[in-house]
Amino acid sequence: MDGNKEITLEERMQQTEEILRKMETMELTLQESFKLYREGMEQLQKCSEMIDSVEKQLQIIEEGGNTDE
């Protein structure tokens, strides 16, 4: 993956869904399950941060401000 490319919310959600699918359908060791769980939680945290950022930008716009992002 290109380190300079920012991952979109949709791509992060797709990655999270893939992790969940692996956890549901594959026979995994406890360590493998924990690794996937941790990766999924990290993805969800990043998704939450992205959504929060957009909500803040919308709030600024609704209040008549301007955002350059």
pLDDT of 64 reads 86
Supply angle C-alpha 27, 14, 19, rounded to 5.
20
Q: Which residue has the higher pLDDT, 3 or 20?
A: 20
pLDDT of 5 reads 80
pLDDT of 7 reads 92
Residue 68: is its pLDDT beyond 70? no
Residue 1: is its pLDDT beyond 50? no
pLDDT in tens, 5-49: 889 999 999 999 999 999 999 899 999 999 999 999 999 999 999
Which residues in 58-67 are b (16+ Cβ under 10 Å) and which e? eeeeeeeeee
